[in-house]
């Protein structure tokens, strides 16, 4: 992806919302520590356990049906052994973003199923990546979980102004990111990229969030990992579709040629005729799962 176009979007966000929050110290420490593939798991565990609430949330996410673990993880040390430091680090990042951004202004989102939507996109992204044998280490789940965090950024810093845009989109049934562009000159994808860049998180995550709505200035093929960007966009579109409806007429999650083309070179690509069936299967599995509450 052209860093120039992304940087321009980020600058527009910062010009309006001001300085974005700093990365929490424990998250920064975990990220720095896990850059070393030889780091002892005991050191990573010790760092994370400095924040007991974070430890509890890591286990809650790891054991949630959305994450799809086959074995119950009762301790942080076991989570690190089974998942590995990189995957646990990704969960830490996902939790930290929500914890850092949430305040009274973001309640308008959580009153409208924002958390459950984010979880479902995360779960479907993980299922889709697994079915395609992409061998990701939690990036699929966390990118799906965080795909809409730009909305939290805008709620937190623009308050009532953004709440009015958000409610207008809901009431009119219009695409939120289009209304954001009209009113603000940028959208929640840009705001998400601004935060991820501020925290110096991996570009693959930044690009996946930046590209999760189709637009001419952010093609999936230019993302650092086009496959990750593609599955997050497909998952986001798929969970908004009524899979209980009859018929297999084309809909955006199956007909996004740009996104699916990024997934054609994988080991087991999904034929176009099977996309609806597979996405319906994944979405139905996630639909009745117990909600994960923080």
pLDDT tens track for 174-211: 899 999 999 999 999 999 999 999 999 999 999 999 99
In a domain, 91, yes or no: no
The yes-or-no verdict on residue 145 having pLDDT over 90 is: yes
In a domain, 243, yes or no: yes
In a domain, 95, yes or no: no
- Taken in order 40, 84, 207, 119, the sign of the CA dihedral is negative
In a domain, 29, yes or no: no
Domain count, the chain: 1
Average pLDDT for residues 31-56, to the nearest whole number? 92
- DSSP letters spanning 222-251: GSSSHHHHHHHHHHHHHHTS-TTSSS----
Domain that holds residue 248: 3-20+104-287
CATH of the domain at 188: 1.10.3210.10
pLDDT band per the 50, 70, 90 thresholds, residue 172: confident
The b/e string for 254-290 (b: 16+ C-beta within 10 A; e otherwise) is bebeebbebbeeeeeebeeeebbebbbebbeebeeee
Distance from C-alpha of 178 to C-alpha of 263, rounded to nearest angstrom: 27
**How many Cα atoms are found within 13 Å in the side-chain-facing hemisphere of 64?**
24
Distance from C-alpha of 273 to C-alpha of 164, rounded to nearest angstrom: 40
The dihedral over CA atoms of 106, 102, 121, 190, expressed in degrees to the nearest 10, equals 80
pLDDT band per the 50, 70, 90 thresholds, residue 255: confident
Share of the chain above pLDDT 70, in %: 94
Distance from C-alpha of 244 to C-alpha of 242, rounded to nearest angstrom: 5
pLDDT tens track for 202-254: 999 999 999 999 998 899 999 999 999 999 999 999 987 655 554 444 467 88
Provide CB contacts within 8 A for 278, sequence distance 6+: 131, 270
Distance from C-alpha of 74 to C-alpha of 261, rounded to nearest angstrom: 40
CB 142 within 8 A of CB 91: yes
Range list of β-strands (E), the chain = none
In a domain, 75, yes or no: no
In a domain, 261, yes or no: yes
In a domain, 67, yes or no: no
What is the value of pTM for the model shown? 0.92
- What are the start-end ranges of the H helices in the chain? 3-17, 25-34, 41-48, 52-62, 76-83, 85-101, 107-110, 114-131, 139-146, 149-158, 160-172, 176-184, 188-198, 203-210, 226-239, 252-255, 257-261, 275-287
The radius of gyration of the chain's CA atoms, rounded to the nearest angstrom, is: 18
In a domain, 33, yes or no: no
């Amino acid at each position: 992806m052209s860093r120039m176009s992304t940087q321009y979007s980020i600058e527009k966000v910062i010009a309006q919302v001001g300085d974005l929050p700093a990365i929490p110290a424990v998250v920064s420490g975990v990220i720095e520590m896990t850059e070393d593939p030889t780091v002892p798991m005991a050191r990573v565990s010790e760092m994370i356990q400095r924040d007991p609430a974070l430890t509890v949330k890591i286990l809650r996410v790891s054991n949630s049906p959305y994450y799809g673990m086959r074995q119950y993880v009762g301790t942080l040390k076991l989570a690190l052994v089974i998942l590995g430091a990189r995957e646990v680090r990704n969960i830490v990042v996902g939790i930290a973003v929500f914890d850092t951004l949430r305040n009274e202004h973001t309640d308008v989102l959580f009153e409208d199923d924002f958390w459950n939507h984010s979880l479902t996109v995360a779960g479907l992204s993980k299922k889709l990546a697994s079915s395609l044998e992409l061998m990701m280490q939690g990036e699929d789940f966390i990118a799906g979980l965080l795909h809409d965090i730009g909305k939290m950024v805008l709620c937190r810093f623009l308050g009532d102004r953004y709440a009015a845009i958000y409610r207008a989109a809901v009431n009119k049934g219009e695409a939120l990111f289009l209304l954001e562009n009209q009113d603000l000159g940028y959208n929640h994808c840009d705001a998400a990229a601004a935060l991820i860049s501020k925290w110096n998180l991996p570009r693959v995550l930044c690009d996946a969030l930046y590209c999760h709505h189709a637009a001419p200035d952010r093609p999936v093929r230019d993302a650092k990992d086009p496959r990750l960007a593609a599955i997050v966009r497909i998952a986001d579109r798929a969970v908004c579709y009524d899979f209980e409806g009859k018929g297999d007429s084309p809909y955006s999650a199956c007909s996004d040629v740009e996104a699916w083309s990024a997934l054609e070179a994988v080991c087991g690509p999904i034929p176009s005729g099977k996309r609806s069936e597979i996405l319906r299967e994944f979405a139905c599995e996630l639909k009745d799962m117990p909600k994960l509450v923080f």
